[in-house]
Structure 1
């Protein structure tokens, strides 16, 4: 983890797991986040290569998220995720359709550790003929 300034965090992660002569997993990601009392912006990108039994999956994804303070105790929040479960177009054993998620909502801090978050989630699937999902929800959580 690297913090060039107080508000900025950069994290690099990587690992390699061998599970025998014909199976291994490679994972790498980078996370960048800038936050202060008025707003926060973050991004994560990951690569994951999984090989088992001679078949390789090359997965990757991107996540962007942020919030901006509207007034005291109320924030506008947003998130975008892109996930490709199989970026290797030569491997047709698994789907290579990209999935996209867009989320937007409000974060109302009822108390210091109590939040109420009405939000809308939109998920688009890269499969031919598939229709996107739209979900409205209200999230309530308490942090201890």
Structure 2
């Protein structure tokens, strides 16, 4: 999608239909332990959205909520096909993995959704060489030198 607008994403079986409007609040590669734990991945490339920008349609019973047992975070998946739909971070933002958008764009992430920073780089599992700013913690903190 070339500019801010509306995008519709579906889970593998189509039971969950998610409509996203506007531009994301953040576009990042997250290295935090919480994302590692919640998503089962060494790092997470994702966009964050305000809750009012994301609506769910389709089967209302299909959205399965997994609240993290220790952190104020949630992971949502489809009860029928098991696909990860999105997460919700401690700030209440909807976190959508970039892979979901890329799948709906012939395997390519739209440039307007590409990461613009690394977050929690102090917790990284490995170094990444790129030109993006690398915040040691959140985006309002110090940068990796």
TM-score by length of 1: 0.24
Structure with greater proportional strand content: 1
Structure scoring higher RCO (CA < 8 A, sep ≥ 6) equals 2
Structure of larger gyration radius: 1
